Amino acid sequence: MRVIHFPSLKIVGRMAPVVLVLALAACGVTTTSEQPGGTTSNTPTTTTASTATPGGTPVSSVPPTNAITLTTDHASYTTSGTIIVTLINGRSTSIFTFDHQTSCTILTLQRQTASGWQPVGGCAQGRMTVQVEIKAGANMKITLAPSAGQIHPAPWPAGTYRAVLNYSLQKQEMATGSMVASPTFTLS
């Protein structure tokens, strides 16, 4: 019996974890952990005690009991600016949602119009939508940028916005059931 060796497959196997991490980072989702030495947040949309991440951005560490919260790092942005949303799962159980929303993240950016809240942006990645589990106690920073996940990036229109998470308390085919929204913020 003849054995054929494929040395290039060893390289692919070693690179797979790196490629996965880079792909997830490109979608704008990062998970943060609580750091020692808490400080107080001075941002207008976060009123709870917070700690600083290695980059110095305040991240809420005291979520309301049994709540899922979304907060932004600023109350206003430029139309081409990056919006950082902190998601905290204060529940004692995991929640489930789907990616492939605005900027290829789990959040939908919505703009207020005369006819109500309308989704903005999207995800043009050529892959299937994936269900995402957000574990109990998770504290995630999610980046929304007008250029992320777009074929023809353009600034978002000026206006009043909010970030929305649609989620379910159990695994299922569609994330139906509950929604949580951030406080409103402006893009100008």
For the question of whether the overall pTM of this predicted structure is more than 0.75, the answer is no
Tell me how far apart the alpha carbons of residues 22 and 24 are, in angstroms, rounded to a whole number: 5
At 48, the pLDDT band (50, 70, 90 cuts) reads very low
Look at residue 12 and tell me if it is in a domain. no
Task: Decide if 63 is inside a domain.
Answer: yes
Residue 149: CB atoms within 10 A of its CB come to 22
In this structure, are residues 38 and 51 in contact, taking their beta carbons and an 8 Å threshold?
A: yes
Q: What is the dihedral of CA 27, 91, 58, 147, to 10 degrees?
A: 20
User: Is 117 a domain residue?
Assistant: yes
Q: List the domain range (segments joined by +) for residue 138.
A: 29-187
Distance between CA atoms of residues 70 and 109, nearest Å: 12
Would you say residue 13 lies in a domain? no
Give the residue, 110 or 45, on which the prediction is more confident. 110
Query: Helix or strand or coil: residue 20?
Result: helix
Does residue 116 sit within a domain?
Answer: yes
User: Where residue 152 sits, what CATH number does that domain have?
Assistant: 2.60.40.2550
What's the gap between Cα 120 and its chain centre?
15
In a domain, 6, yes or no: no
Per-residue DSSP letter, 102: G
Tens of pLDDT, residue by residue over 59-117, are 444 545 679 999 999 999 999 999 999 999 999 999 999 998 999 999 999 999 999 99
Give me the residues paired with residue 82 across strands: none
Number of domains within the chain: 1
Give the pLDDT of residue 147.
82
Q: Is residue 159 part of a domain?
A: yes
Indicate whether 5 belongs to any domain.
no
Q: What is the CA radius of gyration of the chain?
A: 19
What is the per-residue pLDDT for 29?
A: 41
